[in-house]
Amino acid sequence: MPPYMNDSFRLQPNASVDDLLLWAVNTYDFTFTEWDRTIERMKLGIDFPTGFTDTSTILIADNSDVDKRTFNPFSFLQPFNIFVWLAIILTIALTAFVYRSLKKIYNANEGASRESNSPKVPGINLFYTTMAATGQLLFEPVSQSERLLVLSISFWSLIIISTYTANLASVMISKQQPIYPATSLAEAERKAVPVCVAGGEYSLILKPCLIET
């Protein structure tokens, strides 16, 4: 006899496993041994609990249009909104104007030696500032004010490039999420959203519709 069985049960010569199970449920509240669920044992009054079942309400909606993707040639602009892009363009133009003004002030104070050595290309400062915004620094500052301005635009471009890269990665890897008309039955009832209800508590509150099977 196993050590967990006491003298209250004596194995009879013709005793079956069902007799052992019946003795166990009559002696103890629960038995955690693996027992097969058979009709004969259920007829003896032995209950086999099926465990906890989640009966919470689950909303199901059609999201067939989520995976439909179209080509957008301006998708590279999605990491920033229109106001950020306008602020970037304004910063580039303003920086180019300030750098040109600082060069003129320095040349007026120190002479035209650097002015004569550097080629006069229309819009060259704007080009340098635009390249600096992309991380390519082409400026050759001489005065302290020019160096301070170039340092500022370099730090600004570092922040812009890092933010753009992070937002671009988020846009590329993120999936389009479906937009549900309601996230709960209470919200659907409040917004008067048509809902198909097969049964349950809300079938008495919401008007059910025909469900195809």
Give backbone dihedrals phi and psi of 156, rounded to 5 degrees, phi first. Answer: -65, -45
- The pLDDT of residue 2 is 47
Q: Which residues in the chain land under pLDDT 70?
A: 1-13, 50-58, 60-71, 110-120, 174-179, 197-213
For 94, 126, 127, 128, 164, the CA distances from 122, given in Å and listed in that order, are: 16, 9, 9, 12, 29
- The pLDDT of residue 17 is 81
pTM: 0.49
Q: Which two tokens stand for residue 175?
A: 């999936």
- The pLDDT of residue 135 is 85
- The pLDDT of residue 77 is 86
- The pLDDT of residue 178 is 62
